[in-house]
Amino acid sequence: MSSAYRRSAAKVVTDSEDDQSDPRQRRDLRLTSKHATIKEDKLEDKKKKAVYQGPYHTIPIHTNTKASVLSKEAPPENYSGFIRLGMLVLGASNIRLIIENWMKYGLLIRLPHSYIPVQDYGLSFLAWLSVPFSLTVSYFVELGLARLASQAKDAKPDFLQKLEKINRVAAFTHLGHLVFLLSFPSYIVYNHIYHPLVGSGVLIICLITFLKLTSYALVNRELRHQYIQGHADDFYDDDVAYPNNVRIGNLLYFFFAPTLCYQPSYPRTESFRLTFFLKRVAELVVCMVMMYVLTEQYAKPTLANSLQALEDKNYVVIIERVLKLSTTAVVIWLLMFYALFHAFMNALSEVLCFGDRTFYLAWWNSGNLATYWRLWNRPVYLFFKRHVYLPSVRSGIPPYLGQLLVFFVSAVLHEFMVGIPTHSLNGLAFWGMLGQIPLIAITKPLEKWRGKGSALGNTIFWISFCVVGQPTIALLYYYQWASTHRDVEVDLPSL
C-alpha cells in the first residue's frame, strides 16, 4: 500500500540504507529529491545531493517497503564480520581441545620411526624394485617397436602383418609387467610389512607408476599406428614426434612429471624460480609436521579409544567417536591436499619447469559429488577420462555406463590402496566409492533446483564426504588393523 503526504515527501537515506546503496558507506544523514527513482538511486554516487534545510522533527522516516538485511529478499550483504567471529570461536574451541588433550594424554608424539620395525624398510625397498623393473621393460619394448615402425613405413604387406603380431606380443608383455608391478608389492605389503604408513607409501609409488606406464604404452601405440599410416601429428615438433620421443630421457621426465597422461612433450616454463621453490618446500614441511602431530596426538587416541565400543557395538559411543574424529580427519585431509596438490606438485613442477599446473580446481565450492571428483584431483580425473571413459564411449558404450566403469575401476584402486596396507580387504573402501553414485544422483537434481554451486548441495557434499564418510572408513579400517595386530599394537591411554 502506498502512502500519500500533503506536502512533498522527501526520502531519507539512513545509515543502513546508505551502506547498501553507496560503496563508500557515507555516515551523514541526507535527503534525496522527491523525483528520485530506482535508476537515480543506482547513480546517486554520480550526482550531487542537496542537504535538507527545513524542519527535522516532521521528516517522514518510513517511506518505502524494505526487507530486513538477513531476509532472503534483501540485497546481497557482506557477512565478513560473521565469518571473522566464526573463525575466532573455532580458534577458541580448538585451543580448549588442545588443553583438554594435553590434560588427558600428555605428550604422545614420538619420532616417526620409533614404532616401525626395521624389517619394514628392507621389505619396502624390495617391493619398490618392481618400479625400475617395469620402467626398463616398458622402455625397451617401446624402443624395439619404434625401430620396427621406422622400417615399416614403406615396407611390404608381409612385414606389416609380422609387425601386427609383434604388437600383440608387446601388448601382452606390457600387461605382464604391469600386473607384476601391482601384484608383487601387494603380496609383500599385505603379508610382511607391519606398518600401514610404510605399505601405503610403497603402493602409492607403484600405483602411480602403473598408471603412468599404462598411459605411456597406449599413447605410443596410437602414435606408432599414425606414423605407419603416414598421418603426421603437427602438434609436436619433429625432435619429439614419434619415433624420436622414445628415449630414456623422455621416459624419465614423464616418470617424474606431475601428470599421469603421457605425451611426447609438455608446456615448459622459461626459468627456475628459487624463491618460489623454497616457499613450496617450506609449506610442504610445515604441512607434513602438522599432519604428523595431529595424527599422533589427536587421531590415534580417538581411534584407540573406539575399539571397545566397536567390539561392544555401542552405537552411541561410535557416533560420538566418529564426530570427534571428523574434526581432526578433515584438518588432516585438507593439509594433505595442500601439501600434495599445491606445495609438492608445484615444487616438483618448478624443478622440471613443467608448465601446466592445474592440479586442482575450486572443488570446495562443489554443489554435487560429481563436480568434486572432476575438480579435486585433476591428474587422476584426466587419466580416467582420456584412457577409460572416452575410449569406452567411442566404442559404443553409453556414457552412463562409461561413468559407471570409471567409478568401478576407481573403487577397486581405492580398496587396493586402503585394504592392502591395513591387511583388511573387507570391501569398505570399494563400496564407499561406489556409494558415491547414488549420492551423485541425489545432489545433481538439487543443484539444478537450487542453482549451480548451491549451498544445499555443497553442505551435503561436506557432510557425506568429510564429516561422516572419511572418519567412518578410517575408524573401521583401524579396527580391522588393530584386531589383526593386537599383540604388537602400541598401548595408548584410555579415557
In this predicted structure, what is the pLDDT of residue 157? 72
CA distance 397 to 380: 21
Q: Look at the block and give the residue holding cell 596426538.
A: 297
pLDDT of residue 18: 44
Residue 117 has what pLDDT? 84
> Residue 45: what pLDDT?
55
Residue 255: other Cβ atoms inside 10 A? 17
Would residue 414 show up in a list of annotated catalytic residues for this protein?
Answer: yes
Q: Which of 177, 195, 387, 414 is catalytic?
A: 414
Q: For the CA atoms of the chain, what is the radius of gyration?
A: 31
Look up the pTM and report it.
0.78
Specify the pLDDT at position 84. 82
Quick one: pLDDT at residue 211?
A: 95
Residue stretches of the chain with pLDDT short of 50: 1-37, 48-49, 489-495
* Residue 155: predicted pLDDT: 67
Give the three cell numbers for residue 163.
609387425
Cα separation, 313 vs 278, in Å, equals 49
pLDDT at 35: 43
How far is residue 180's CA from residue 229's CA, in Å, rounded to a whole number?
Answer: 33
pLDDT at 435 (0 to 100)? 80
Q: What's the confidence (pLDDT) of residue 303? A: 81
